[in-house]
Amino acid sequence: MVCIAREEHMQLYTSPRFRTKAMFPSLRHLWLATVAMTMLTFLPAFLSFIPIASAMNMSNMLMGQTLESFLSDLVSFGAMSVTQKDDILRMSTQFDPQYNPNLEELREVQNDVFSSEESKQALRSYLYDEIDTDFMEYETAEAIASVLSLGALYPRDSFHSGIFIDSPLTAVSDGPAGSSYTGNGNVERLGRSNVFGVGTNKEIYNGIWGYSVGSREYALQCHGYGLNILDVTDPSSIFRVQFVPMTGGGIWRDVVTNYDSIRGKTYAYVGAQGNQGDGKDPNLFVIDLSNLSGNEPHAVDENPAVVQNLGKTPEFTHTINAARGLLFLNTANSKEGCRVYDLVADPMNPRFLFKTGGSVGRDCHDSSVVTVGSRDLFIVSDGTGRYGIDEPCQRIWDITDVDQDWNTGDLPVIIGQTQQVSGIYAHSNWVSEDKRYLFSFDENNAVDITVHDISDPTQPTFIKTFQYSGNAEHDAIPHNGEIRGRYLYVAYYMAGLRIFDVSNPYQPYEVGKDETFRDPNGDGVFENPDITAKWNGAWNTYPYLSSGNVLVSDELHGLFVVKQTPPYGIPGRFFVTSQLDGSGYTVLSWTAATNARGYSVLRSNSSSTAPFTPIAEHLLEMSYIDQSAPSEIGFYRIVAINGEGNRASRIVSSNGTVVGSKASKRRQ
C-alpha cells in the first residue's frame, strides 16, 4: 500500500518543475506563518508495550485558516514555491473530490483533508521527495506535516514504530479522573462579557490575566484586535474600561503582568503570534497599569493606561510569562526557543538576555518559573521536541543566577527533564504550590494531563496521566492550566473550565466545571451540544484574583467570571488500630474518612510528642505495614487529605495503645 501510493504520487507530482528551493535567512517567517498550530498529531502508544494509536485518525490543526491560505502564507514568506502549494492543493482534492481547500470554517474544521491513510502516506512521500531533492527545507515539511496531522517526519522509522526514543514510562493509571458532582459541582457563574461577539476568524478571544488594586479587580483579556481592560469588581456588571488596539502579529495574543518593586508599579506585557491579524510583524506591547483606579470605578476611556509599542520581536510570541524581574517570550516551534529579557533596569524597554534556541532547545511552546529549594527553575514545555535529537518533554533550566547583570547570550544550564514521549505535544505546565509536583498539558489529545514529582528537579519522576471526567464519552483537549491551593483549573477547550482536587496527585478528582463553550448563556441549554477533540472553547484561566473569583477566556464566547465554593469539608473523622505481625512489623489499619482523597503515615521513634516524620503518603488503601523498624515501639499519626485541608488521626503506638484521645484538624 505504501509503496504503491508512493509510485502513483511520483507519477503525478514529479512533472516539470518551475519551483525554486525555499530561500530565507532564518526560519522566522516560516514559524510566523505556521503559528502555534504546528503540533505533531501522530499518536503512538503512550507506553511502548501498548499498540500504536495511529495519526491517521486525527483531524487537521489548521485552527481557523483554510488550507489554501495556510500554504499561501508559506509561499509569501519564501518557505515554499507556488508549484509546491498547487501540488498539495491538487492532492487534497484528488483523495476527496468533495473537499474544498478554500472553504474551511473556523468552528467547523473539516476532518476529511488528508484523513485517509493513503492520502497521508502520499503527502508524506511528497514531502520526503522535496527534502531529499533539496527543493524544500525540512522545517517547512515538518510544519506542513504537523498542521495536517501526518505525524513527525523524522526519524522516518518512528511513524509506525510506536516506540519511545528513550525508556518508556510506567503509568500508574490512565483515564478520566473520578467525579461525583451533579450540575456544575462547586462552580457558580457570576458574570460574562462578550464585547466583540462571534464574528470573523479575527474576532477571537485568547490570553487572560488578572489585576487587583485597592478594592477593584480587572481582567486583561486578549483578542485578535488587541487588549480589553475590563472592570470585574462586580461580575454581574462587567464593563470595559479601556481598549488597547494592537497591530502586528495574529489573532492569538497572550498577556502577563509584572510588579516592579523599585518603581511601585505594575506593568502588563502583551505578545502576539502568527500573521492572521493586522500585519505580519509580531509586535510586543508594554502597558503601565498605574492609572487604573483602585477605589471608585474607573471611567470608561478616561485617564487611560500608558501604552508603548516595542515593535517587532525577532520571533512571534505564542505565550508570555514574567517572574523574578524577567520576561519570557515563548516562541513555539522556533529556532529562537524562549527569549528572556530583563525588566528591572527599565520595565518599559526590556533588555534581551538570552534565548534557549539552537541545538540545546529549539522549541519553547510555553514555560513557568518556580523556586524549588535554593534553585529558581525555568520549566519549558518544548512542543514537538528538538528536531532529529529527541521527543517532546518538559525541560528544566536553572536560572538562579540570571539577573539584570547576566552576560547577553550566555545560557544557563539544563539540569533535568521529564521522560520523553513520542506523540504528545508538550504544550504548557504548572507547578503545585508545595513546589513538588509538575502538571503538564498535552494539546495533541494523546494523554491530556501528566503529573511528575520534581522534588529532585534533576530527576523528575513520572506519576500518572489523567483526563477530565467525561473524556470517555466526549473526548476533549486541554489547553492551559493553573493551580491555586490544592485545586487545578484547566481551560479544556470544548469541555470548558474543569476544576480538579489535586491534593493527592496520584488520584486527581474532578469537583466542578463551567460549560463556557456548550452553554455560553448559562441557561442550561447547550447551544453547542457536542464536545469533540477540537481547538475551540476555553483558552485560558486566571484563578488568582483577591476575591477568589476565577476568570475564564473562551475563544468564541468571551470572558466568564465564576466562583468556586468548597466541594466538601475537610475529611471526616476516622479511627486507627495497630498490631505487630509475626515478623515484628507494625500493621496499621483505619476506617475510611469521608471525602478523603488520600492518606499519609507519619512516625516518631521516641514519643508521642516528638516530631513526626512522613514515611508514606498519597495512600488510597486504609492500611499500611511499617517494615522500617521491626519489633521496635513507634508512634504513628495517620493524616487524611483533600483539597480543603487535613484531618489527623489519634496517635497510636505499634503495640496498639491509643496515646491521643482526640482527632485534630487543619485547614489549608
Q: Is the pLDDT of residue 131 over 50?
A: yes
Task: Name the pairing type of β-strands 487-491 and 480-484.
Answer: antiparallel
Report the pLDDT value the prediction gives residue 434, as an integer from 0 to 100.
Answer: 93
Closest by CA to 464, choosing from 425, 499, 505, is 505
Report the pLDDT value the prediction gives residue 152, as an integer from 0 to 100.
Answer: 59
The mean per-residue pLDDT over the stretch 551-565 comes to 96
User: What does each C-alpha distance from 314 to 31, 36, 72, 281, 325 come to in angstroms?
Assistant: 11, 16, 22, 9, 21
Report the pLDDT value the prediction gives residue 230, as an integer from 0 to 100.
Answer: 97
**What mean pLDDT, rounded, does the chain reach?**
80
Query: pLDDT band at residue 63, thresholds of 50, 70 and 90?
Result: low
Percentage, residues of the chain above pLDDT 70: 77
The mean per-residue pLDDT over the stretch 176-203 comes to 87
Here the cell at position 151 is: 505525524
Closest by CA to 137, choosing from 325, 335, 367, is 335
- What does 438-505 look like in DSSP terms, one character per residue? EEEEETTSSS-EEEEE-SSTTS-EEEEEEB-TTTTTS-----EEEEETTEEEEE-BTT-EEEEE-SST
CATH of 202-485, one of 3.40.50.720, 3.40.50.2000, 3.50.50.60, 2.120.10.30: 2.120.10.30
Report the pLDDT value the prediction gives residue 30, as an integer from 0 to 100.
Answer: 39
Residue type, 341: Y
Percentage, residues of the chain above pLDDT 90: 46
Report the pLDDT value the prediction gives residue 212, as an integer from 0 to 100.
Answer: 96
Under a CB-based contact definition with an 8 Å cutoff, are residues 448 and 477 in contact? yes
**More confident site: 501 or 132:** 501
Closest by CA to 624, choosing from 646, 649, 606, is 649
Closest by CA to 35, choosing from 228, 254, 292, is 254
Distance between CA atoms of residues 397 and 412, nearest Å: 7
The pLDDT tens digits for 304-348 are 999 999 877 766 677 888 999 999 998 866 677 889 999 999 999
Report the pLDDT value the prediction gives residue 122, as an integer from 0 to 100.
Answer: 81
In sign, the C-alpha dihedral spanning 111, 114, 120, 125 is negative
Q: Is the pLDDT of residue 160 over 70?
A: no
List every span in the chain annotated with CATH 2.120.10.30. 202-485
Distance between CA atoms of residues 64 and 496, nearest Å: 19
Q: Is the pLDDT of residue 611 over 60?
A: yes
Q: Is the pLDDT of residue 545 over 80?
A: yes
- What does 300-369 look like in DSSP terms, one character per residue? TTSSPPEEEEEEE-SS--SEEEEETTEEEEE-TTSTT-EEEEE-SS-TTSPEEEEE--STT----SEEEE
Report the pLDDT value the prediction gives residue 497, as an integer from 0 to 100.
Answer: 98
**More confident site: 539 or 3:** 539
Report the pLDDT value the prediction gives residue 184, as an integer from 0 to 100.
Answer: 96
Query: pLDDT band at residue 198, thresholds of 50, 70 and 90?
Result: low
Report the pLDDT value the prediction gives residue 508, as an integer from 0 to 100.
Answer: 96
List every span in the chain annotated with CATH 2.60.40.10. 576-667
Q: Is the pLDDT of residue 167 over 60?
A: no
The pLDDT tens digits for 618-657 are 999 999 999 887 667 789 999 999 999 999 887 888 877 7
- Side by side, the strands of the sheet bearing 558-564 are 187-193, 558-564, 550-554, 538-542
Distance between CA atoms of residues 3 and 155, nearest Å: 18
Under a CB-based contact definition with an 8 Å cutoff, are residues 617 and 547 in contact? no
The pLDDT tens digits for 110-125 are 445 787 777 887 888 7
Highest mean pLDDT range out of 88-92, 373-377, 514-518? 514-518
The mean per-residue pLDDT over the stretch 17-29 comes to 35
The mean per-residue pLDDT over the stretch 488-506 comes to 96
595: left (phi over 0), alpha (psi -120 to 50) or beta: left
Q: Is the pLDDT of residue 157 over 60?
A: no
Query: pLDDT band at residue 233, thresholds of 50, 70 and 90?
Result: very high
Closest by CA to 274, choosing from 332, 357, 339, is 332
The mean per-residue pLDDT over the stretch 581-592 comes to 91
Query: pLDDT band at residue 279, thresholds of 50, 70 and 90?
Result: very low
State whether residue 139 is helix, strand or coil.
helix
Please tell me the pTM assigned to this model: 0.75
Count, residues in the chain: 668
Query: pLDDT band at residue 31, thresholds of 50, 70 and 90?
Result: very low
Under a CB-based contact definition with an 8 Å cutoff, are residues 363 and 334 in contact? yes
Report the pLDDT value the prediction gives residue 469, as an integer from 0 to 100.
Answer: 94
CATH 2.60.40.10 fits 576-667, yes or no: yes
The pLDDT tens digits for 136-149 are 877 788 778 878 87
Report the pLDDT value the prediction gives residue 509, as an integer from 0 to 100.
Answer: 97
DSSP state of 626: E
The mean per-residue pLDDT over the stretch 277-284 comes to 65
